[in-house]
Amino acid sequence: MHRLTISYSEPADAAGFEADYRDAHVPLVGKLPGLRRFLVSHPRPLGPGETPYLVAELWFDGADALKAALRSPAGADTAAHAQEIVEKHGVASMAMATGEVEDVLP
């Protein structure tokens, strides 16, 4: 499995961001070819340091499936909408990371 993780900082307009994310962005993500799992969380800090406002995890069968999804028309639409809601709702930062997921416990 391969995972794309997207972290969003606290938006200036949290209510508007949540509405746009749930009502418009989630359906776009759902159209990504090869998407196996889509998780969203609002982490709570456990100590000092910066905590993202929202973290999204998109799971695919492998790196090639992830690349194909990102290069697809649905991937372009999803990326453009993410940028739109970041700008519209005053999200200071959006960070993306990808990597292979390894089960380390049986």
Identify the pLDDT of residue 50.
86
Name the residue with higher pLDDT: 48 or 56. 56
Instruction: Give the CA distances from residue 81 to residues 39, 77, 104, in Å, rounded to whole numbers and listed in that order.
Output: 18, 6, 35
pLDDT exceeds cutoff 90 at 99: yes
Q: Which tens digit of pLDDT belongs to each residue from 58-79?
A: 999 999 999 999 999 999 999 9
Identify the pLDDT of residue 47.
86
In a domain, 44, yes or no: yes
Going by the DSSP 8-state scheme, the letter that residue 9 receives in this structure is P
Identify the pLDDT of residue 54.
98
Mind giving me the DSSP string for 33-63? TT--EEEEE----SSSS---SEEEEEEESSH
> Looking at residue 62, which CATH number applies to its domain?
3.30.70.100
pLDDT exceeds cutoff 90 at 104: yes
**pTM summary value:** 0.93
In a domain, 7, yes or no: no
In a domain, 5, yes or no: no
- Is residue 32 within 8 Å of 45, Cβ to Cβ? no
| Total number of domains in the chain | 1
Domain that holds residue 33: 12-98
